Amino acid sequence: MKRATLIAIFYVFVSGCGSDSKAEKEEEHAQACAQPENPYSEGTGHHAGYKWAEEHGGNCSTRSPSFNEGCEEYEEQEVQYEDCQSKRR
């Protein structure tokens, strides 16, 4: 009985010490590449600008500084995400 227990413990220990598979490494890296996410509260100019940029892309240049800042935030997050994704290939 002791031998079977020792073998089982050894197997668990050894199998847990193996190197990560390619799929596991890709999953870890994908998690590190955070997709753009709107950090602003609904109903604010920042939120509206972020959402607009998310749906339409492009340059935001309006009379509303908060809308423009939300737009710029989306663009920055998108660039970071695309840069991260390109490094994993």
HEC states along 43-85? CCHHHHHHHHHHHHCCCCCCCCHHHHHHHHHHHHHHHHHHHHH
> pLDDT by residue (tens digit) across 36-81?
999 999 999 999 999 999 999 877 899 999 999 999 999 999 999 9
pTM value surpassing 0.75: no
Q: Are the beta carbons of 17 and 9 closer than 8 angstroms?
A: no
Residue 89 scores a pLDDT above 90 = no
Which pLDDT score, from 0 to 100, does residue 88 have? Answer: 80
Which pLDDT score, from 0 to 100, does residue 6 have? Answer: 45
Q: Which helix (H) or strand (E) holds 86?
A: helix 65-87
- Find how far residue 57's CA is from the centre of its chain: 19
Which pLDDT score, from 0 to 100, does residue 2 have? Answer: 57
Q: How far is CA 75 from CA 39, 52, 71, in A?
A: 13, 11, 6
